[in-house]
Every structure is written in structure tokens, then in C-alpha cells.
Structure 1
Amino acid sequence: MKGRNQTDLKGMLEKNIYHRLPSFFQELLEHSTGRERDLLTLSSLTVISNCLPFVSGIYNGSEVYPHIYLIIIAPPASGKGRMTLSKYLIDGINNHVVEFSTLAKKICEQKKKDGEHDEECPEIARKIVPANISTTAFYKILNIVKEGVLMFETEADTLTKMLGNDWSDLSDVLRKAFHTEVISLARADGTYLEVVKPKLSILLSGTPEQLKLLMKNKENGLFSRFLIYQFNDVDEFIDVFAVKAQELANAFKIKSDEMLNLFKILREKKGIKFNLTARQEKRFLRFFRKQQKNILEQEFENIISNLKRFALIAFRIAMILTVLRHKDKLENVYKLECSDKDFLIALSIVETLLEHTKDIIVNFDSDFLPELDKNILDDLPVAFSRKDAIISANKFGMPKRTLDDKLNQWILKKIIHKPKHGSYRKL
């Protein structure tokens, strides 16, 4: 595993995880490379996290399920839209759920019409929901679809606008659903809804500006529940007629049928328990305790909550990979133990994404400023040149290259501005 310079926003998943992934993923990603492969891996993990009903494990004394929240952040025209291919993986399941619930509703309405009962008929169920959904409608869907729901949105600000509405308590729902806590809703009209074990996965993409809006929710803990993958690449103009692009899309469409079959098998079994080995549990604790020590040494105290939730997400990723590795031999299987291979892949993914979160905090969180940065800024006058900044940085042992990165970060955070080349002024 590796570390990454905090100011490097281009960190990719470790290449050596790809030949160790379950065959399901290797076949899925056969026609992708580089950044695209990372995007497809992470978005597919998130979508699949909502396709595994009744798979759970015990974590910190509680039963947890494999659901993941992920947001992909990049500028426009960067290729982040490739994540939409992952939606194919759940389309077959969604169609199945919609068809089954539509038939059930028709049968119920016919019986009601025939006078066999006067009860309210069930709503049509869906596995996929948009972010621009009312809180009441969201509660209803979570209550109807016991196997879980995927919130899929290619524009993150759709969600942040909903979070910003005074009349919406969607943030509370998302925070509690991450931990499968009971959620309840009482309205003035007497409406009362309670969902005992809400199961929700979230997959978003957006721009850095849209992420800033989501980061406003960092104090209430919503931000810390998201894995973040950020990059600044501008995508080259791809060959829109290439056979490879169609082969990639076809691979996802084919895997949709496999996911539907796996979904049906797991739903019928009504319970598979996942666990780490005793040795893996010890290594898990050592790994995250070391990460916490590093975070404190690097003055990132404000992402300790992220780290603790990332630990839970690592457990969930290991759970997903384990199920996929055994998907063709689940008959008479009710317990699955994690292999060292899947355990290490999960840790590697989370370690990389933790570095992305640090990058986000450094570059976009105006409340975060390391002690070294404060010392240099305090040493500088209100108006200063790059040469002045280099002299101050040298006093405190900061290299020139690091200082240049810092100057850009301080501009992004609106701590300073640059009226002209080589000149800066504190705000």
C-alpha cells in the first residue's frame, strides 16, 4: 500500500488490485484502463452494494449491510460520466422489482374491486431513485423496498439543493440510513412512517463547486459518510465510434443478468453471514489505528469521523468482494469468510480514498489550515510577492514547490487573492 502527496489530486487505485479482483470484476473491466477503470470499479462497487439482499456481518456489535455512499468529483469534460455504465448492473433487478410490484398492485386492486378486501394496495416498488425526491416519498420507497434502494445522480447539486431546503429533513434520513438506523417521519396531517432497517446506497458525480455545497454538511456528519474520488484530468476527445466503447457497454449489460440471478438467489436464501478471520480482525485494527495516528500527526483531526466510517466501509467492500467471489457456489452456503485477497483489496481501496478526502479538506475546506500554513501566513504582510512567500516558507522549512501548491490552495480557500502575476494579498 502507499501514501500520496497531499496536494496530488491524481491518486489512482493501486494497479495490483485489478488482477486479484473476483472474476466478475475482471470480466467487467476487461475493456477499460487507467482512470476509467478506477471510475468503473468504484461506481460498480457502489451499485452492487445495493444488489445483495440479506447479506450482513457483525461490526462493532451491530448487524451491518454492504451499502456504500460514493461521490466522484471532477471538472466538466473529464470523463466522470463513465460511471453511468455501472447503472446497467442494477437495471435488471430494478425492472424485476417494478414488474413484480406492478403485478401485485393490479391483483390487489382487482380483489378490492371485487369486494374481497378494503385495504390500501401497495405502491409500485423501485430500486433506483433520483436525488430530487421529497422526504415523504423517500420514506415510502425505503419502507416498500426492504432489499434496499440506490440513489443515483449525475449532478451532485441536485442532492445539495434538496439538503438545503428548510422543509426537508433528507440529511437526517441519509445519515441514519448509512448505519441502518430506524428512521421515522411524522407530519402535521397525521402521516406517520417508520422504516426499521433502511438500506440505501448513493452514487453521485459532480464538480468541485458542487462538492463545496455538500461539505457544508460536514458538521452534521453527512460528509464523513461519503467515499470521495477526485481527479482533475480533462478527458481527451475519444473515438465515439470505437468498437471498444460498445464492448464495454455490452459487458455491463451482460453482467446485469448475472446480478439479477444473484439477487434472486440471495433473496431466496434470506440470510448469508459474512465475517473476517481472527487474524484479519487484528490486522484491521492495526491498520486503522495507524491511519488514525497519521491523521493526528498531520493535523487532520477534523476527518477522524471520516476515518471511522471508512473502516466500516472497508468491511463492507470486503463483504461485497467475498460474495462476488463465491457467487456461483452459494448453494447450501449461509456463512462466508473473507479471503486475505479480498481483505487486502478492501484496505487498499479505502487507503487511497482516504488520501482523496485529505486532498479535499486541504484544497476546499476553508476551516482547515495546518499549523505550518498559519505560521507562514502570519509571518507575511498583507500584500506580498512570491519572493516574500519563499523567504517566509524557508524560515519554517517548507520547500519552494510545496509553497507554490499552498499558494494555489490559499487562493481556492479565499484566504488570499492574486491581483497580478507574482503578487498576492490577504483577504
Structure 2
Amino acid sequence: MEKCKNEHSQSNQDIIEFIRGLYKTEGFIPLHEPRLAGNEKKYLLECIDSTFVSSVGKFVDQFESMIFDFTGARHAIATVNGTAALHVALKLVGVDAGDEVITQPLSFIATCNAISYCNAKPIFVDVDVDSMGMSPKSLRNFLSANTRQNLGVCVNIATGKKIAAVVPMHTFGLPCRIEEIEEICKEFNIPLVEDAAESLGSYVNGRHTGTFGRIGALSFNGNKTITTGGGGMIITNDPSLARRAKHITTTAKLPHPYEFIHDEVGYNYRLPNINAALGCAQMESLLSILRGKRELASEYENYFLEKNINFAEEIDGSHSNYWLNAIILEGRMQRDSFLKDLNDAGVMCRPIWRLMNNLKMFSNCQKADLSNAEWLEDRVVNIPSSSRIP
């Protein structure tokens, strides 16, 4: 046991030195920091000078246009953050109080929070080990064994509740098997809502993540591939969903020169112009950022292959943005040793999220066999992933 610990400690020291060499610094290395190397200051000053710093202004429209041009979606609606985008996306496909939504347990808390904001309840199916995203096999098995069709609506036999949506998440920017999931959702008459918060710049067979379902959600938090400080985006090819998304994210206010008339309960979820200004500048640098991230991932992949450590790669047919690089260690003991050694040395690393079904808020939710998610929870570590561009 002591020999094993010493071997791990030496291996961890080698990894620390390798990562410091990649980033050419002896100082603190964050997990992921934004790259603000373009027109960010220029556009922010322009926004300030215009006095249009809230949710009205040219940069909001421009940022939306840049996103739908890049992703290939027909419509994009900017929101204050990715959670707000996902919340509204769920509302738009008809998720109501008392409904159930199938998702994956291996995800950031925002996925389940957005479901909860609708007063709906998550159901957890397993993930695939290679993609770390929702497993089509687990999804199909659950639906086949536990649901029935009632006048074109998928109903949970055990609870009598409507299965109102399926929400897969593209973990760390690694696309899941979204095409298979899309087909299953069509077969069982369930709307597909993509949590693409982490996958701007990720594709499956040439098609951008977030565009496979009826609607998708992106995030531009400070640690994402590009950032608006805080911010999100709803993307869809459905013009009616897009119109309604813009309406309810702007407090459901009817157009009028001066009267305040609202026709339903809405949300104050529109992205401020000052944040969108930052996003426009970031979009101008996106291709360079993505190139830098793939180069970094390639160097990690080659290094960890020599050390016989599994580096999380994109699956066949997919193209990842490699937002957060991840390695898969032997077990929880090696994982914990790795995390302590690297963080103590000022090289920020973190474990994958606690499984959602193990959090007290969601501990009583229905679940499938989650063996893959449980296996990954014990082993996956994120390592520094900032794009190395000037």
C-alpha cells in the first residue's frame, strides 16, 4: 500500500511539472479562465458611452445573430445565464407542475434546478462511460419498461405522471449520442431539450450540439469557452418557440410606446447589453480559442497515453470543444490523492460533480440502474483547460 502511495505521489509530481510546462508558469494555474484578448474593452466602452447598458441595445441583437450564425440554429434568444435559458426552454416545450423530466445524474446542478423551477421532478437514467453523457440504451430500457402511451403522451406507469421532456447534457463539451437519443424521443413522443451549456463549438456529424432537439440552451458563465460574465442563450429552429422565448424572457410585456401591459407571468431573463458587448468580442475570438483548446487536449492525450492514464476523448462521429479536459483514474483513492497533490501545488483540479440522485433534494427521485455514473463519479478529475492563446 505504501509503495502504491509513493508511486502515485511521484506520478502526480510529474503531472504537475508537465502542466506547468504547458502553461509556462510557476504560479497558480486555474481550472479555466477566460481569454479576453480582443475587442472586449472597446465594445464595453462603446456600450457605456451609449448608456444602453441594460437589456436593450445593439450588442444583444448582434450577439444573438453571431450565435445563430455559428451554431446553424435559425433563432437565438439571449438570457441572463444558462440556467435561465434551460428553465425557459423547458417551459416552452410544455413542462408543467407535476410533470416528470428524464435527465442524467452526472451533470451540474443547474440541469436539475431548471427542472425544479418548473415544479417538475427529474428521473435519472445512466450515462455512457466514454461520452459521460446520457446513455441511449439506458433511456430506451427505462422508457420501454416503465412508460405507456396515452393519446400520444408518454406516461410513467408507476406515478401516472407525464414524461414531459428528456434533457441530456453534453458533459465537459464531449457530445453524447444525441442522434440516437433524438430518435428515441420521437418514438416515445417526448420533447428533446438539449443542455448544451458546456458545448459551444461541439458537433455531431457536422451538426452543432443544441440543435438536435426542439430547443437547446447554451451558457456563457465566466468559466465557459467564451464568456459574457454571466449569460445564456436559447437556440431553436422553431420560429413560434423563438417568439415566445423572447416574449416571456422580457417579462411578457406587450409592445407599446409607453404603457406597461403584460399578458402572462413572465421572467426578467434578458441578457443586458453590457454583457452582450463582451460576448460579441468573445465570438470574434472563438475559433482561435477552440483551436487552442484542441491543441491543449492533444498534448494532454499524448502525455497521459504514455502514463497509461485514460484521457476523456470525443466519441466517433463527434467533434468536441474540449471545454474541460478530464482524466479517468483507477479509483477514489487515486482520485483523492491526485486532487490533494495538484491543488496543494497550486494546479487547480476538481472531481466530477456529485451525482444528482445523491443530493438530498433529489434523493427520492425515480432512477434507472446508474452503474456507469457511479463508476465515473469515483474516478473522473478535471484538469486545467484554459485556452493558451496570446
With the length of structure 2 as denominator, give the TM-score of the two structures: 0.28
Structure with greater proportional helix content: 1
Question: Which protein has the larger Cα radius of gyration, Structure 1 or Structure 2?
Answer: 1
